[in-house]
Amino acid sequence: MAQMNLLQAINNALITAMRADNKVLVLGEDVGHFGGVFRATSHLQEEFGRERCFNTPLVEQGIIGFANGLAAQGCKPVAEIQFGDYIFPAFDQIINETAKFRYRSGGQFDCGGLTIRTPYGGGIAGGHYHSQSPEAFFAHIPGIKVVIPRNPYQAKGLLLSAIREPDPVIFFEPKRLYRAAVGDVPESDYELPLGHADIVQTGSDITLVAWGAQVEIIQEAAQRALGDGISCEVIDLQSILPWDIATVSTSVVKTGRLLINHEAPLTAGFAAEVAAEIQSQCFLSLEAPIMRVCGLDTPYPLVHEKEYMPDALKTYEAIIATMNY
């Protein structure tokens, strides 16, 4: 075990994957000698050479298009999009190409080797264009998997799985935790399964669901609610496509209440999907309406970031309201 922050864990996962398989290549803007604007790819070019870790021109649609071709050829590209906010020029390549490559060719060709890494989320005073949480757009695309880790241990294990998965994966990294989240990470090679939720804390009165950086927020709210004698079960979804319906529904059958928290705007956010599925599976167990505590339906703000965010206090209030329903 070593103490690592989230970035170091990601860097360690990339080194582990590249040492184990010479088909793993890392590409993106500034990922080469410089090591990426967040330093997630530090020292990769030193160890593996420019052939395996290289800068690309500044063109997101090109990065993903190129990586699609590289994956179709049999390599395992890990493509970095510098900020999740800038992934949209590559939206066509992801929706119409990455996700459909295997399906449209009847399984003759696929982009399964592709992993797209991108930092997402707020909390860094980044305004509209360095703070968004676009995961719900990608949850609507059959053919890809969407994974979001909450801490260094999860990040390394999930990223190694994502790289080795036979399906293309978008790996959203909570950038406000890049240096803030520190924890024990095995130096060995290990994988955590995709599509599985993690029960972070068991409880009996209400189920709280989040992913990525918001998991620590709902944990904080759960702690506060404990002061009122409310026992919260905290679940980290980890994967939002496909997502672990069974773990959440089992929990809600037990607790009778569900609250979902995400940073992205409320309307058509992924919480809506979770709420719809869980009400259909757990209708007779529910003691109260499913609650969503989410970002506002505004562009992500700058000076009002604190007001915008679905923080622990808003979550706590929603827990109390649900309990008192």
Partner 1 sequence: MTNINERNHIAHINTTQEVNIISDGLVAIPMLQLLDTNGEYLSHNPSPLTQESALKILYSMHYTRLLDERMVSAQRQGRISFYLACTGEEAAVVASTAALEPVDMIMSQYREQGALVYRGYTTAQFMNQLFSNKLDPNKGRQMPIHYGDKTLNFMTVSSPLGTQIPQAAGYAFGQKYTGEAALTICYFGEGAASEGDFHAGLNMAAVLNCPTIFFCRNNGYAISTPTAEQFAGDGIASRGIGYGVKTIRVDGNDAMAVFAATQAARKIALAESCPVLIEAMTYRLAAHSTSDDPSGYRSADEEVKWQEKDPIARLQKYCIAQSWLDLEHLDAYITQSRAEILAEVKRAEKEDYASIDDLFADVYAVLPKHLDTQKQSLQAHIKKYPEAYPKTARELL
Task: Return residues touching partner 1 (CB under 8 A).
Answer: 23, 25, 33, 50-51, 54, 56-57, 59, 61-62, 64-75, 77, 89, 92-93, 96-97, 100-110, 112, 142-143, 145, 165-167, 195, 242, 245-246
Q: Answer yes or no: are the C-beta atoms of 175 and 125 closer than 8 Å.
A: no
User: Among all chains, which residue has been given the structure tokens 């890990």?
Assistant: 78
Q: Which is nearer to partner 1, 167 or 236 (CB)?
A: 167
Task: Kindly state the smallest distance separating residue 233's Cβ from partner 1, in Å.
Answer: 21
Q: Which is nearer to partner 1, 70 or 158 (CB)?
A: 70
Q: Answer yes or no: are the C-beta atoms of 14 and 78 closer than 8 Å.
A: yes
Q: Which is nearer to partner 1, 242 or 289 (CB)?
A: 242
Q: Answer yes or no: are the C-beta atoms of 219 and 272 closer than 8 Å.
A: no
Q: Active-site positions? A: 60, 130
Q: Which is nearer to partner 1, 113 or 310 (CB)?
A: 113
Give the C-alpha distances (Å, rounded to integers) separating 2 from 152, 213, 303: 11, 21, 37
Q: Which is nearer to partner 1, 186 or 195 (CB)?
A: 195
End-to-end CA distance of the chain: 45
Q: Which is nearer to partner 1, 39 or 314 (CB)?
A: 39
Q: Are strands 232-236 and 206-210 parallel, antiparallel or unpaired?
A: parallel
